């Protein structure tokens, strides 16, 4: 007997929700960085120098990956919501996962 945790739909929903939580936790940091513009050019330049570090580039790629997961997972949910269930819709989970992974990897390649 399969439990809900054995189904890919469960894990797609899990990843969708937690990617949203992670993005929501990142948002205040994003606003703090944007506020550096108001503190002067030298402050923003100092942050941008720090942001050029390889570890930060990997974190940015992870953030882009989270955004892609959340976006593509949301599209998957919209398809499920607005159309009658068809067997091919189960493949949307795989498409969303591959698309998000490819987006994060492409961003990482562009960063270096």
pLDDT in tens, 21-45: 999 999 999 999 999 889 988 988 9
Contact indicator for 104, 67 with CB cutoff of 8 Å: no
Task: Work out the average pLDDT over 57-74.
Answer: 89
Question: What domains are there in the chain, each with its CATH number?
Answer: 10-111 (1.20.1300.10)
pLDDT digits (tens, 9 = 90+) for 84-104: 777 777 788 888 888 888 988
Q: Rounded to the nearest 10 degrees, how much is the dihedral formed by the CA atoms of 34, 38, 39, 41?
A: 90
pLDDT at residue 2 is higher than 70: no
pLDDT digits (tens, 9 = 90+) for 49-63: 998 899 998 888 889
Q: How confident is the model at residue 77 (pLDDT cuts 50, 70, 90)?
A: confident
**Between 8-39 and 91-111, two packed helices, what is the crossing angle to 10 degrees?**
30
Matching residue, tokens 């997972």 = 73
- Largest Cα span, the chain: 62
């Amino acid at each position: 007997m399969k439990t809900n945790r054995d189904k890919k739909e469960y894990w797609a929903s899990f990843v969708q929700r937690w990617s949203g939580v992670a993005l929501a936790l990142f948002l205040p940091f994003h606003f703090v960085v944007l506020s550096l513009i108001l503190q002067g050019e030298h402050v923003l330049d100092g942050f941008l120098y720090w942001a050029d570090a390889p570890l930060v580039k990997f974190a940015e790629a992870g953030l882009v990956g989270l955004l892609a997961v959340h976006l593509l997972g949301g599209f998957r949910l919209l398809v499920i919501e607005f159309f009658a269930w068809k067997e091919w819709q189960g493949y949307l989970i795989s498409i969303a996962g591959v698309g998000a992974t490819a987006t994060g990897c492409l961003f990482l390649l562009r960063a270096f």
